[in-house]
Amino acid sequence: MMKIIFINASPRKNCNTAQLLQQAQQGAQAAGAQTEYVNLFDLKFTGCRSCLACKRQGMQRCKCYWPDDLSPWIDKILHAQGVIIGTPVYMGGPTAHFHALYERLGFCVLSYDDRSSYLDRKVNVGLIYTMNAPQSYYEAAMRPAFVPIENGLKHLLKGEVLTYACCDTFQVPDYSKYNMGIFDPVHKAQVHQTQFPQDLQAAYAMGEKLAKLN
């Protein structure tokens, strides 16, 4: 059976990124996939510790050996047909938790003999980014920061990489309580009411689409 793993790389479990991921999960389920969802911030883990067990002769490949909460999820991803990861943009890139996952997942399938992927099957990937920046800024200035990660995942997991950017997000429900003078709360509320429902639909469609890829 088609299995898709959903990973929330935002510390907030019910905000923009999580809501989009939950829609994607519903889309995948509607298309018949079996799904599992995890909040990365509930797991105790770090980035790659360079133990190099995954490169040791005689060791099984495509496995992260570091004994912490993330390794079982790396196993699940590498045995699934797809993974959808949602991350907010923090300081111009994905969150540190996203990046730690990327290091661990990517490195344990990377061959140091010829830079190919050890993986003998494909795992399709969906990436959902959320950010304060408007779409035009994302396209011009931010997308380039994500392209190497997208290309890395395409090469190492051998599947398709679908991306969706949800821009100009509603960061807090009441802007008047914060020092956030660079944002226009009226504009933010408007985007939340008009654009965000479309973002949710797009996320649902991504889940459906990923579940239909082989």
Ligand X SMILES: Cc1cc2nc3c(=O)[nH]c(=O)nc-3n(C[C@H](O)[C@H](O)[C@H](O)COP(=O)(O)O)c2cc1C
Of residues 94 and 106, the one with the C-beta less far from ligand X = 94
Closest separation in Å from C-beta 14 to ligand X = 9
Strands 82-90 and 158-166, bridge-based pairing: unpaired
Residue 10 found at the interface with ligand X (CB under 6 A)? yes
What are the start-end ranges of the H helices in 16-111? 16-30, 71-79, 96-107
* Residues 46-65, interacting with ligand X (CB under 6 A): none
Place of tokens 């995890």: 38
- Among 129, 128, 211, 121, which Cα is nearest to 157's? 121
Closest separation in Å from C-beta 18 to ligand X = 6
The count of residues interacting with ligand X (CB under 6 A) is: 17
* Residues 87-146, interacting with ligand X (CB under 6 A): 88-92, 130-133
Q: Which residues of 12-34 are buried (b: 16+ CB within 10 A; e: fewer)?
A: eeebbbbbbbbbbbbbbeeeebe
**DSSP for residue 43:** S
Q: Which of 22, 81, 117, 171 binds ligand X (CB under 6 A)?
A: 171
Of residues 116 and 193, the one with the C-beta less far from ligand X = 193
- Among 146, 137, 132, 138, which Cα is nearest to 191's? 132
Closest separation in Å from C-beta 108 to ligand X = 27
Of residues 90 and 107, the one with the C-beta less far from ligand X = 90
Of residues 65 and 137, the one with the C-beta less far from ligand X = 137
How many H-runs (helices) and E-runs (strands) does the chain carry? 7, 6
Does residue 37 sit in helix, strand or coil? strand
Closest separation in Å from C-beta 74 to ligand X = 23
Residue 158 neighbours by CB distance under 10 Å:
17
Of residues 97 and 209, the one with the C-beta less far from ligand X = 97
State the binding string over 16-45 for ligand X (x if CB under 6 A, else -). xxx---------------------------
Which stretches of the chain bind ligand X, using CB under 6 A?
10, 12, 15-18, 88-92, 130-133, 169, 171
